[in-house]
Amino acid sequence: MIRIISALLIGVAALVPAGAGAAGPIRLADDAPDSHVVVSGDTLWGISGKFLREPWRWPEVWRLNREEIRNPHLIYPGQIVVLDRNGPTLKLGKRIGAAGDRALYEKRFPQVYSEPARVAIQSIPLRAIAPFLSEPLVVDEAEDAAAGIVVATQEGRVFTGPGDTIFATRIDPEVRDWNVYRKAKPLKDPVSGELLGFEAAYLGQARVSSGAGVLVPDAANGDTATASPGSAIPASLVVTSFKQEIGKGDRLLPAGRPELPSYVPHAPEQDVSGRVVSIYNGVGGAGRHDVVAVSLGKRDQIEVGHVLALHRNRGETVYREENVGPAQRYRLPEHRYGLAFVFRVFDRLAYALVMESDGPATVADSVRKP
């Protein structure tokens, strides 16, 4: 028995900390528990919030190195997260018995389990961002210029739906599945006016049923009435899913697999500064678990999992002190009011989910390294 208890007290050597250079010490949440049993529906952010005042500093208390942040050891329902307040550090514990009312735990670092019935928890609530993993699309001018084009619809219909056939040009024969979109509003930096891309209206998906070709007349019966020899034949695609009606002139881009946000929440290594470009669905302001587009992307070394601080731009305000003397103009300092988690990144834009907010996020608000 003594040997068993002694073995439980032996810690595994800590990994290289990922949070070197982070601002300030790690602060535990008020009434942080000693442990937490992971249940279905938990997220890395939510679990971290039980232990930490700043949940995005999760990698630091887990002592993860950079590679583990990008490819995290997954956590599953039924596991036990144990807090060591001396670090503080978080580890996984395995229930091995009980002594009175106190459970005994074997502390371990996160591990990957292969049991098929267990689904690993995600960084943030997937239900809040599931539609955004394949839509909306951000398309730049070059992509739009090279995109496939719907040139005709089945039986000349104005619009088509699931099961209908559409005909399109510029379809790569090596690609089977395509996203169909309609180019919508341009997204511009609210300060510089730079065109960052087009937020395309996602219409649905289509699958190639027959490739494009060139008409060759039938030498046996001399059938050349329908078209002249050498006429192009567009590719045929069957609409497999749809959100809006698809019609002539709509565009197609190859449909990739949705990128699930498996990264651990973490701050960018470098200082970044951008703006909120748009609030999805055109609402006036975004609250918790709403989606915003920001003017930072791959060119700014932004990646999935980055946490950005939201700052309110107060701008200039005119004051008159005690109604004495001329009015004076002051620029009030920015006010940090929330955090957003980046879950999809394009070249010059990224979509982020507002995780914490004490006020609505609006267009032109600043986003920075927290």
> Hunting for tokens 């982070």 — which residue is that?
22
What pLDDT score does 73 carry?
Answer: 67
Does pLDDT of 240 surpass 80? Answer: yes
Give residues with Cβ within 8 angstroms of 180, minimum separation 6.
150, 166, 202, 203, 204, 205, 206, 239, 246, 250, 251, 252
Q: Residues of the chain with pLDDT > 90: what percent?
A: 30
In the prediction, which pLDDT does 101 show? 44
> Which residues contact residue 235 at a Cβ distance below 8 angstroms, ignoring those fewer than 6 apart?
148, 167, 168, 169, 171, 173, 208, 210, 211, 212
Q: Which domains are present in the chain?
A: 2-121 (no CATH), 135-254 (no CATH), 273-368 (2.40.10.410)
Mean pLDDT taken over the chain? 78
Asked if residue 25 has a cis previous peptide bond (ω within 30° of 0), the answer is: no
pLDDT tens, position by position, 5-64:
233 222 322 222 333 334 588 899 999 999 999 998 888 889 989 999 998 888 888 877
> 321-346: b or e for each residue (b if 16 or more CB lie within 10 Å)?
eeeeeeeeeeeeebeebbbbbbbbbb
Q: What is the pLDDT of residues 273-317, one digit of tens each?
A: 999 998 876 667 888 888 999 999 999 999 999 999 999 876 556
* pLDDT, tens only, 189-239: 998 999 998 888 889 999 999 876 654 455 444 454 455 555 678 999 999
pLDDT bucket at 105, cuts 50 / 70 / 90: low
Bond preceding residue 360 cis, omega within 30 of 0? no
> What tokens appear for 106 in the block?
């074997």
DSSP 266: B
Q: Is the pLDDT of residue 124 over 70?
A: yes
Do the Cβ atoms of 270 and 302 come closer than 8 Å? no
Rounded Cα–Cα distance for residues 217 and 212 (Å)? 16
Residue type, 219: A
